[in-house]
Amino acid sequence: MSDASVNVKKRQMMTADGIPLKRSLRISLRREKLRGLALLAVPALFVIMLFIWPIYTLFQKSIDDSFVNDVLPRTMAIYEKWDGEDLPGEVHFEAMFLDLTTAEKLEIGKVSTRMNYAKSGWKSLIKKSNRKFKKFDPQKALLPQMIKADKRWGDIEFWKSLGIMKDRRTAGYYWNAVDRTYDSKKNVIMQPENRRVYVMFWKRTLLVSAIVTVACLILAYPVAYLLATLPLRVSNLLMICVLMPFWTSLLVRIVAWMIMLQQQGVLNDSLVGLGIIAEENRLPLMYNFNGTLIVMTQVLLPFMILPLYSVMRGIPPTYMKAAQNLGATPSWAFLRVYMPQTVPGVGAGVILVFIVAVGYFITPELVGGKDGQMIGNQIAYHLRKSLNWGLASAMGVMLLVAILVLYWVYDKIVGIDNMRLG
Amino acid sequence: MSEFHEMGFVEFSKVQKSYDGESLVVKDLNLSVGKGEFLTMLGPSGSGKTTCLMMLAGFETATHGEILLDSRPINNIPPHKRGIGMVFQNYALFPHMTVNENLSFPLEVRGQGKAEREANVKKALDMVQMSEFGHRRPAQLSGGQQQRIALARSLVFEPDLVLMDEPLGALDKQLREHMQFEIKHLHERLGVTVVYVTHDQSEALTMSDRIAVFDDGVIQQLASPNDLYERPENAFVAQFIGENNRIDAVVSEIHGDKVLVEYNNGGKGEALAVNCGDVGSKTTLSVRPERVRIGEKVGVNSIDAVVKELIYLGDHIRCRMDVMGNDEFVVKIPNSATSISMDVGEKTSVSWDVSDCRALDA
Between the alpha carbon of residue B143 and those of residues A354, A420, B96, the distances in Å are: 40, 25, 17
Looking at residue B2, what is its pLDDT?
43
Distance between CA atoms of A366 and A297, rounded to whole angstroms? 15
Q: Please indicate whether, in this complex, the C-beta atoms of B105 and A336 are within 8 angstroms of each other.
A: yes
Burial class of residue B278, CB neighbours in 10 A (0-12, 13-18, 19+): exposed
Which of A276-291 are b and which e, b meaning 16 or more Cβ less than 10 Å from the residue's Cβ?
Answer: eeeeeebeebbbebbb
Query: In A45-186, where do the E strands start and end?
Result: 180-182
User: pLDDT at residue B1 above 50?
Assistant: no
Strand partners, B304: B349
Looking at residue B107, what is its pLDDT?
96
Judge if B34 and B168 occupy the same domain: yes
Q: Please indicate whether, in this complex, the C-beta atoms of A316 and B109 are within 8 angstroms of each other.
A: no
Question: Range of B223's domain?
Answer: 10-235
Judge if B215 and B255 occupy the same domain: no
Judge if B168 and B226 occupy the same domain: yes
Number of separate domains in chain B: 2
User: pLDDT at residue B6 above 80?
Assistant: no
% of residues, chain B, pLDDT over 90: 63
Least confident range of A9-23, A90-104, A197-211, B204-218:
A9-23
**Residue to substitute from B56, B59, B87, B94, interface A, most A β-carbons within 10 A:** B94
Distance between CA atoms of A144 and B350, rounded to whole angstroms? 135
Nearest chain B residue to A326, by CA: B106
What is the tens place of the pLDDT at every residue in A167-198? 888 898 999 999 998 887 788 889 888 889 99
User: pLDDT at residue B5 above 60?
Assistant: no
Considering the domain boundaries, does residue B3 fall inside one?
no
Considering the domain boundaries, does residue B5 fall inside one?
no
Judge if B204 and B293 occupy the same domain: no
Judge if B217 and B139 occupy the same domain: yes
Judge if B211 and B350 occupy the same domain: no
Query: Mean pLDDT, to the nearest integer, of A281-288?
Result: 89
Residue A117: pLDDT band by 50, 70, 90 thresholds?
Answer: confident
What is the tens place of the pLDDT at every residue in B143-198? 899 999 999 999 999 999 999 999 998 888 889 999 999 999 999 999 999 999 99
Judge if B153 and B272 occupy the same domain: no
Looking at residue B111, what is its pLDDT?
92
What is the tens place of the pLDDT at every residue in B15-27? 999 998 899 999 9
Looking at residue A31, what is its pLDDT?
86
Q: Which one is predicted more confidently, A182 or A339?
A: A339
Judge if B180 and B85 occupy the same domain: yes
Distance between CA atoms of A20 and A4, rounded to whole angstroms? 20
Last residue of a domain, one of B235, B263, B285: B235
Last residue of a domain, one of B235, B259, B292: B235
Judge if B164 and B294 occupy the same domain: no
Q: Which amino acid is at A64?
A: D
User: Which DSSP letter does residue B326 get?
Assistant: E
Looking at residue B275, what is its pLDDT?
85
CATH 1.10.3720.10-classified regions of chain A: 198-418
Q: Please indicate whether, in this complex, the C-beta atoms of B109 and A327 are within 8 angstroms of each other.
A: yes
Nearest chain B residue to A316, by CA: B92
**Chain B residues within 8 A of A324 when measuring between CB atoms:** 58, 78-80
Looking at residue A1, what is its pLDDT?
43
Domain A198-418 bears CATH identifier 1.10.3720.10:
yes
User: pLDDT at residue B221 above 90?
Assistant: yes
Least confident range of A22-26, A109-113, B141-145, B175-179:
A22-26
Which CATH number belongs to the domain containing residue B294 in this structure?
2.40.50.140
Residue A406: pLDDT band by 50, 70, 90 thresholds?
Answer: confident
Confirm if B224 and B210 have CB atoms less than 8 A apart. Answer: yes
Judge if B282 and B196 occupy the same domain: no
User: pLDDT at residue B44 above 80?
Assistant: yes
A339 touching chain B per CB within 8 A: no
Residue B109: pLDDT band by 50, 70, 90 thresholds?
Answer: very high
Which CATH number belongs to the domain containing residue B62 in this structure?
3.40.50.300
What is the tens place of the pLDDT at every residue in B291-325? 998 877 777 888 889 999 999 888 888 999 998 88
Q: Please indicate whether, in this complex, the C-beta atoms of A332 and B109 are within 8 angstroms of each other.
A: yes
Q: Please indicate whether, in this complex, the C-beta atoms of B80 and A327 are within 8 angstroms of each other.
A: yes
What is the tens place of the pLDDT at every residue in B110-139? 999 999 999 999 999 999 999 999 999 999
Nearest chain B residue to A331, by CA: B80
Judge if B335 and B229 occupy the same domain: no
Q: Which amino acid is at A389?
A: W
Residues 45-104 in B contacting A (C-alpha not used; CB under 8 Å): 57-59, 78-86, 88-90, 92, 94-96
Q: Please indicate whether, in this complex, the C-beta atoms of A321 and B59 are within 8 angstroms of each other.
A: yes
Nearest chain B residue to A332, by CA: B109
Judge if B224 and B81 occupy the same domain: yes
Last residue of a domain, one of B209, B235, B261: B235
Nearest to residue B359, comparing CAs of B294, B292, B281? B281
Query: Mean pLDDT, to the nearest integer, of A239-261?
Result: 90
What is the tens place of the pLDDT at every residue in B240-286? 998 899 999 999 988 888 899 988 888 888 899 888 888 888 999 99
Strand partners, B214: B219
**Chain B residues within 8 A of A337 when measuring between CB atoms:** 94
Q: Which of B90, B94, B106 sits opposite A327 (nearest CB)?
A: B106
Looking at residue A271, what is its pLDDT?
92
Q: Which of A180-194, B5-19, B32-46 has the highest mean pLDDT?
A: B32-46
**Chain B residues within 8 A of A325 when measuring between CB atoms:** 57-58, 79-80, 82, 84-86
Q: Which one is predicted more confidently, A5 or B52?
A: B52
What would you report as the CA-atom Rg of chain A, rounded to the nearest whole angstrom? 32
| Residue B169 φ/ψ region, left for φ over 0, alpha for ψ in the -120 to 50 degree band, beta for the rest | alpha
Q: Which of A318, A326, A330 sits opposite B106 (nearest CB)?
A: A326
Q: What is the mean pLDDT of chain B?
A: 90
User: Which DSSP letter does residue A370 get?
Assistant: T
User: pLDDT at residue A81 above 90?
Assistant: no
What is the tens place of the pLDDT at every residue in A34-52? 988 999 999 999 999 999 9
Strands B268-273 and B357-360, by their bridges, are parallel
Query: Mean pLDDT, to the nearest integer, of A97-123?
Result: 88
Distance between CA atoms of A106 and A112, rounded to whole angstroms? 10
Looking at residue A2, what is its pLDDT?
46
Considering the domain boundaries, does residue B2 fall inside one?
no
